[in-house]
Structure 1
Amino acid sequence: MTLPDALMVPMSRKQIASIVECERASTTIWTGAIRSGKTIASIVAFFIGVAQAPPDTMILIVGRTLQTIERNILEPMQKQSLFGPLAREIHHTRGSSTAVILGRTIHLIGANDEAAEAKIRGSTVYLALVDEATLIPENFWTQLQGRLSEPGARCLATTNPDNPEHFLKKKFMDRAGEPGMDVKVFQFFMDDNPQLSAEYIARKKAEFTGVFYKRFIRGDWVAAEGAVFDTYDRDTHVIRWEDLPEMRWILGVGIDHGTTNPTHAVMIGHGVDDVLYCMDEWRYKAGKEEARWSNVELSKGVRDWMALPHHPDDDPENPPRARYRTVVDSSAADFRVQLKQDGLTSLKANKDVLYGIRTMSTLVSAKRLKFTDRCPELLKEIPGYVWDEKASAEGKDEVVKLNDHGIDAVRYLLVTEERKWRRWIKLGLLPDNRDASVDEFDEAA
C-alpha cells in the first residue's frame, strides 16, 4: 500500500506541490485562511516523513496542549473517510503523551507556556509536526529549531495569520529565501480547497468580521485594533427577557470573582433555536462607604440569586431547584472553597483569553450569542471592550483590561463548557485557529 493509494480525498495541485517541495526544506510553514486545505497537506507530508524516517530517530507532534493535538491532528488521521487503510495505522490512548503511527512511536508535546521548552531540551529530533505555530512560545520554537540537528531533519508547521509583529512571521516567514534560511512558506486560501462549494465559502465569509475576517478569511497578517465585538448591534443581539425561547438546557453560570473589583455572575442557556442566550446576571460591587462582602456573603448572594426564576416560563412561586453547573475564575481558590462548603461545587474556568475572545466574537458575528435585558451591566461592557493598541504594536493580541467582569464570566463558561454546546451549534470553524477540527475534515471529505 502506498500513501497516494490510501488517500480517500482529492487534493489540489497547490497541496500536492507543497507536499513535494517541503522535502527540500528544513522548515516548512503552511499559512493562510481557515479551511483552505493547509493542515491536511501538512498531515500527508508528515505521514511521508514518518515512513521515510531512519530507525531510532525521534519524531514529535507539537501543539498548544495535548488535547489540541488529539483533536486537530490525531482524530483526523484516524478518519478512514480521509486516509482509508492508513487510518488503522494510528494508535493512541486519549491522554497519553505518545502515539504509534505507521509502527513508529511519536512523542506528543504540549507547549502552552514558556516552561514547555524544557520538555525537549537535550533531545535530538528528526521530524516534528507543529500544529498552529503562532500559539507556541518563541523559546520553545527556538529550542525545537536547535534540536533538528540530524541530517535530513525537518519541521512541518501550520498556522493561521496573526499579528504582523509575531516572531514567526518576522524572524522566519519574512526571511524565507535569505542565505542560510532554509525555510519554505506556502500560503493557502479557501478557494484553494477543491472540496469547498461557493455557497459554503460565502457562508464562512459572512461569519467573520474585523480582524478575524482579515486573518481567517483573507489570510492577512494584520494587527488587532478597535472594538473586539465589532458586529455587536443592540437591536439585533439584545431581546426582552420575556421573549426568551424555550431552552434545550441551561449551560450553567460563569462567575468572575473580584476582591477589589466587582463579582459578576452570568447564566447562559441553550435555546431550542440553537442560539446561546445570556439570560440573567448577578453583580456585586461595594459602595464607596460600604465594607466589602466576605466570600461567605458573596457565596450566599450568588446562591440566593441562582434559586430565583431565570426564565419567563419559570413559576415565580416555585422556581426550578436546579443545581446549575458553575464555572469560576480559577484564581479565586478561596471563593471556590467557600462555595463548596456551602454545597455548591464549581469548575475551574479555562482562562485562555484570546481563544475565549475569538469564540465569543464568532458567536456574536453569527448571531448565535444573544443577550437579554436582564443583563444590563454586561450590556454596558460590550461596546467598550477594545483591543490594546500598545500591545498590538509589540506583536501581541491583548484587550484593554477595564470594565470586563461580565465578559470574563461569559468567556469562562463558554470555553469551559464548549463541548456541551459545540455539537449543536454549527459554526464550522470556531477559531482557536482550529484549521484541523473534526468538523472541517468531515466537510472536506
Structure 2
Amino acid sequence: MAYKPLTGKAKRSVQLSTARFNIWEGAVRSSKTVASIFRWMKYARTGPGGNLAMIGKTERSLKRNVIDPMIEMVGDKRCRYLAGAGELHLFGRRIYTAGANDARAVQKIQGLTLAGAYGDEIATWPEEFWDMLGTRLSVPGAQFFGTCNPAGPTAWLKRNWLDRSALWLGHDGTISTSHASDPVDLHRFSFTLDDNPHLSPDFVAALKRQYVGLFFKRYIQGLWVPAEGAIFDMFDEKRHVTATLPAISRWISMGIDHGTRNPFHAVILGLGADRKLHITREWRWDSAAKRRQLSDAEYSREVRHWLTTVPVPQTDLLGVTPEYTIVDPSATGFRVQLHQDGLFSKPADNNVLPGIRTLSSLFALDLLDIHESCKELLLEIPGYCWDDKAAERDGTDQPIKLADHGVDAGRYATHTTRSIWRSALRSGVHVAA
C-alpha cells in the first residue's frame, strides 16, 4: 500500500502532539492511525532513551492495525517484529509489545520504566491497565501516543480523560482549550471520515451506505453517542424478508444458539447465485413451550435429522450439508456430542458488537435476507434492542438479553464465516467485521 504525505488535520495533529498524552480518535479510515504512526516513529528516533512499549487490545490486533502498516512504510529492515518474543525493533530500538484484553493484563507492564508508549484501540482497554501505564511513563519527557474509535459517552476514556484534555483539535478543525476545572496534560484530535482527502468519493459513499444507526454516528461522524433503541433499525420486512430463494451456490454454515431451559435455535446460511447471503431455514426447540427439556444427545439427533430430511423452501432438496457448523462457544458438551455423532463443529466468534456490526452492514447494503419460513427469527429482530441501563451504568454497549436466540444463531452463522463469504458478495464493499 502506498502512503501519501500527511495533509490537513492529520498533519496538524502531528504538529500539536506535544503533550504527555496524545490521542487520535474518531471515524474509521479517517487518517488518524496513519498520523499517529508517523508521530510515534518520529518519537522512537528522537525521544528520550529508555524502554518503549506498544499495546493493543490484543497483540494480533496491534500487529494488524499498526505494526504491519509501519513495516509497509519503512521496510522490514528498519522495522522488524519478533512475535514470539513480544518485541518490535524499530530503527534499531527495542519496543515491547503487549495486549490489554482484560484486567489481568496489568501484570504485563508492572515493574516497567517507560520512556514512551503507543496504544491502539484504547477505549477497549480496562481502565486499570490505562492507569498502570501512566505510572510506568516515568522517564523525564516520556510521552504517550494512541488511537481509538468512539464508544459511549460515559466510557471511562472520554469521561475521565478526553473531556478534560488541555487542547482539542475538534471535528470541525477548530482548536480549543479545556474548560474543565481539572484539565489533564492531554491533546485530543477528533476525526470524521471526510478528514481523509485521499479516499475516493465512491469509497466514502460506500462506507456511508454501509454503516447505519449507532455505527454511522460513531464510525463515520466520529461521535461518542450512546447505544439506544432498536439495534437493527435498518431492517425492513419489504427489503429483507423473501418468499423465494435463488439457487444457493454454497451452503456456508449452520449457526446454533444452544439452550436447555432457554430456547435452542439453529439457522442455515447460504450464498446465493445472486451473490447475496440468505438465511434459508430455522429449527427451534423451546423447552418451556414444549414442556420438555432435551439432552445434548437428543439435540444432536434432532438437528442432524432436520438437516437431512426437511425440504429446503422452494427447492426439491431434502436437506443440506453446510460447510461449517458454528456453535455457541459456551456449549462445550453439545459440541462434544456432535463430534461423537460424526458432525464436526467450531465455536462461534462471540464478540457481540462486531457481530452486530456485520449483520447491520449486510442489512444496510441489501446483501442479506431471511426466508419467510424463519418465523421465530423474524419475530425477534424488531425487538432486539440496546440495554440502556448497561450504557448508563458503566458505558457498556450490549443488547438486552431477551428473545435473542435466533438473532444469536444468525450472528454466529454469519460473522464467524465472514472470511468465507466476504469476497463473493456482489457489492464489492468491504463489509464491516
- Fold equivalence (TM over 0.5): yes
Name the amino acid aligned to 1:146: T
User: Larger relative CO (CA 8 A, sep 6+): 1 or 2?
Assistant: 1
Pair 1:200-2:199 in alignment: no
Cα deviation digits, residues 212-244 of structure 1 (max 9, x gap): 11111222211111100000001101112x423
Displacement, 1:154? 1.7
- In structure 2, relative to structure 1, the CA distance for the partners of 1:324 and 1:207 (3 Å cut) is closer
Residue pairs, 1:50-89, within 5 angstroms: 50-55=44-49, 57-79=50-72, 83=73, 85-86=74-75, 88-89=77-78
The aligned counterpart of 1:26 is 20
The aligned counterpart of 1:147 is 136
Q: Bigger CA drift: 418-427 or 372-381?
A: 418-427
Query: Aligned match of 1:239 in 216, 238, 242?
Result: 242
- In structure 2, relative to structure 1, the CA distance for the partners of 1:272 and 1:125 (3 Å cut) is farther
Name the amino acid aligned to 2:153: P
- In structure 2, relative to structure 1, the CA distance for the partners of 1:403 and 1:253 (3 Å cut) is same
Query: Aligned match of 1:13 in 8, 17, 28?
Result: 8
The aligned counterpart of 2:409 is 409
The aligned counterpart of 2:170 is none
- In structure 2, relative to structure 1, the CA distance for the partners of 1:110 and 1:371 (3 Å cut) is same
Name the amino acid aligned to 1:396: T
Residue pairs, 1:161-176, within 5 angstroms: 161-176=150-165
Displacement, 1:299? 0.7
Question: Percent identity between the aligned chains?
Answer: 39
Structure 2, unmatched stretches of 5+, are: 167-179
Name the amino acid aligned to 2:432: L
Structure 1, unmatched stretches of 5+, are: 1-5, 432-445
The aligned counterpart of 1:381 is 380
Residue pairs, 1:29-48, within 5 angstroms: 29-48=23-42
- In structure 2, relative to structure 1, the CA distance for the partners of 1:171 and 1:87 (3 Å cut) is same
- In structure 2, relative to structure 1, the CA distance for the partners of 1:94 and 1:267 (3 Å cut) is farther
- In structure 2, relative to structure 1, the CA distance for the partners of 1:89 and 1:390 (3 Å cut) is same
Indicate the SS of the match to 1:78: helix
Indicate the SS of the match to 2:278: strand
Name the amino acid aligned to 1:427: V
Question: Is the CA contact (8 Å cut-off) linking 1:244 and 1:311 kept in structure 2?
Answer: no
Displacement, 1:312? 5.5
Name the amino acid aligned to 1:338: Q
In the alignment, the residues of structure 2 paired with residue 308 and residue 50 of structure 1 have an alpha-carbon distance, to the nearest angstrom, of: 63
Displacement, 1:114? 2.0
What TM-score, normalized by structure 1, do the two folds share? 0.87
In the alignment, the residues of structure 1 paired with residue 422 and residue 84 of structure 2 have an alpha-carbon distance, to the nearest angstrom, of: 21
In the alignment, the residues of structure 2 paired with residue 68 and residue 354 of structure 1 have an alpha-carbon distance, to the nearest angstrom, of: 16
The aligned counterpart of 1:132 is 121
In the alignment, the residues of structure 2 paired with residue 193 and residue 289 of structure 1 have an alpha-carbon distance, to the nearest angstrom, of: 56
Residue pairs, 1:388-427, within 5 angstroms: 388-394=387-393, 395-425=395-425, 426-427=428-429
Indicate the SS of the match to 1:293: coil
Cα deviation digits, residues 296-343 of structure 1 (max 9, x gap): 1001111112224675686436x55x3631111111111111111111
Indicate the SS of the match to 1:419: helix
In the alignment, the residues of structure 2 paired with residue 310 and residue 95 of structure 1 have an alpha-carbon distance, to the nearest angstrom, of: 50
What TM-score, normalized by structure 2, do the two folds share? 0.89
Question: Is the CA contact (8 Å cut-off) linking 1:280 and 1:310 kept in structure 2?
Answer: no
Question: Is the CA contact (8 Å cut-off) linking 2:48 and 2:141 kept in structure 1?
Answer: no
In the alignment, the residues of structure 2 paired with residue 95 and residue 195 of structure 1 have an alpha-carbon distance, to the nearest angstrom, of: 35
- In structure 2, relative to structure 1, the CA distance for the partners of 1:271 and 1:214 (3 Å cut) is same
